[in-house]
């Protein structure tokens, strides 16, 4: 099998669905500078976020300061838990909404539990407009649940993609999309 490098603009989906472009999305721009020059926080993999740990970790100030945050750590180190804590605070402070996009139903089910403090609803159990401000949706159902949303309404959401490697694999190789 040949290894191919691909680039994808998020508005590719809007084009396929014959929807207007989402102007808030950034066009994919490959990293051309040395990655060592990027803002990076090297932290202990055991403490992605633990309020009692005093070392370097993903703190709320990092979450709210950067438009894009990528967290790489071992399994079970609290990545999703840290994002859930910070997302709740951010949503309360900014009156924004929160959407997690997953590639598996089981991951969306787990997000309902992980983001319980935000009263997250699964895409299988809600009707948009029910007053909820935190949803989780599997990529296969994203258009069905959010396709009619206006650009203005969509801008109210912070979008979280968990397990990006499997998400991109599903996104680029799923015959249902």
74-103 pLDDT tens trace: 777 788 888 899 999 999 999 988 999 888
**pLDDT above 70: residue 47:** no
**pLDDT average, residue stretch 18-40:** 65
**pLDDT above 50: residue 8:** yes
Q: What is the pLDDT of residue 90?
A: 92
Instruction: Give the residue, 74 or 31, on which the prediction is more confident.
Output: 74
108-137 pLDDT tens trace: 999 999 999 998 988 887 665 566 789 898
Q: What is the pLDDT of residue 61?
A: 87
Q: What is the pLDDT of residue 88?
A: 93
E strands along 11-103, which residues?
97-102
**pLDDT above 60: residue 38:** yes
Q: What count of other Cβ atoms lies within 10 Å of the Cβ of residue 81?
A: 15
Rounded to whole angstroms, the Cα distance separating 113 from 93 reads: 22
Q: What is the pLDDT of residue 2?
A: 44
What pLDDT band is residue 28 in, cutting at 50, 70 and 90? low
26-40, 47-61, 85-99: segment of lowest average pLDDT = 26-40
Rounded to whole angstroms, the Cα distance separating 160 from 83 reads: 9
What is the Rg, in whole angstroms, of the alpha carbon atoms belonging to the chain? 17
Q: What is the pLDDT of residue 129?
A: 56
Phi-psi region of 157 (alpha: psi -120 to 50; beta: other; left: phi over 0): beta
């Amino acid at each position: 099998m040949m290894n191919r490098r691909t680039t994808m603009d998020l508005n590719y989906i809007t084009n396929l669905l014959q929807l207007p472009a989402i102007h808030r999305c950034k066009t994919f721009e490959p990293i051309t500078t040395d990655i060592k020059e990027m803002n990076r926080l090297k932290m202990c993999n055991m403490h992605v976020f633990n309020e009692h740990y005093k070392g370097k970790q993903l703190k709320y100030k990092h979450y709210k300061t950067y438009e894009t945050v990528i967290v790489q750590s071992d399994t079970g180190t609290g990545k999703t838990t840290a994002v859930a804590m910070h997302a709740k605070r951010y949503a309360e402070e900014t009156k924004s909404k929160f959407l997690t996009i997953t590639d598996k139903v089981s991951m969306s089910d787990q997000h309902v539990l992980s983001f319980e403090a935000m009263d997250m609803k699964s895409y299988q159990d809600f009707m948009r407009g029910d007053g909820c401000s935190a949803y989780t949706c599997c990529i296969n159902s994203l258009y069905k649940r959010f396709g009619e949303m206006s650009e203005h309404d969509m801008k109210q959401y912070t979008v979280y993609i968990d397990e990006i490697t499997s998400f991109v694999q599903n996104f680029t190789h799923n015959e249902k999309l």
